């Protein structure tokens, strides 16, 4: 219902450019848009499994988006709402920083996932490149959650049952530290994904190529940390 309401007010899913060729999905875009928003809402909830990771992800993604928006005249006003969200999450992170004293839970993580989806579609209506940039900025969460879900579906597991088989969860157990994994996520966002997103947003790199460039190392990391692998008893 929330996804449908959002798409109604945003005018549907924006046309996307693939190697310079625009593709307008029409009414099919509404179906894709609902699926996209619902998946972002859920995957952000799935990725909120260790102290600080969801908050650090939100803040670093928002700061990357602020840089992205400030680089173009048509997006000059959009940075304010993104920065406001980063500030709100920053206040929460003071209490959720490892070791956490409070937790985000479904309401907070689902809200962030949906809002990031809204921001990306809003940006996509201004420029297809900006939509690809948002997908790049959210790459750590998208790749880990999507690959893990794919692996579990492939094994015919009950995907609605709780599990701890995401790459970040395996990494936290391997290193015995929530803080290291959460900070590592932020570092990937700042030093890898943000520069690629800026290159795509400014037209220096084609959107699909930028997405492949950004996601390939993330996929290798996810596989290295056994994302989606069956949990040992």
C-alpha 57 chain-centroid distance: 8
Binding residues: 45, 106
Binding residues for Mg(2+): 45, 106
């Amino acid at each position: 219902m929330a996804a449908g309401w959002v798409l109604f007010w945003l005018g549907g899913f924006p046309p996307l450019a693939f190697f310079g060729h625009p593709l307008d999905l029409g009414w099919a875009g509404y179906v894709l848009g609902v699926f996209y928003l619902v998946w972002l809402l859920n995957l952000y909830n799935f990725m909120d499994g260790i102290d600080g990771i969801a908050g650090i992800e939100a803040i670093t993604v928002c700061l990357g988006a602020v840089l992205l928006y400030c680089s173009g005249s048509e997006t000059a006003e959009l940075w304010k709402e993104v920065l406001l969200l980063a500030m709100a999450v920053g206040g929460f992170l003071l209490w959720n920083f490892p070791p956490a004293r409070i937790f985000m839970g479904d309401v907070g993580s689902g809200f962030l996932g949906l809002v990031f989806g809204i921001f990306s579609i809003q940006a996509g209506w201004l420029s297809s490149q900006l939509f690809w940039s948002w997908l790049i900025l959210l790459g750590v969460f998208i790749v880990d959650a999507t690959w893990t879900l794919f692996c579990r579906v492939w094994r015919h597991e009950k995907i609605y049952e709780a599990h701890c088989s995401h790459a970040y969860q395996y990494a936290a157990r391997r290193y015995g530290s929530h803080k290291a994994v959460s900070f590592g996520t932020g570092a990937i966002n700042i030093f890898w994904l943000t520069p690629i997103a800026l290159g795509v947003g400014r037209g220096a790199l084609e959107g699909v190529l930028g997405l492949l460039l950004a996601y390939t190392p993330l996929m290798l990391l996810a596989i290295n940390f056994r994302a989606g692998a069956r949990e040992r008893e």
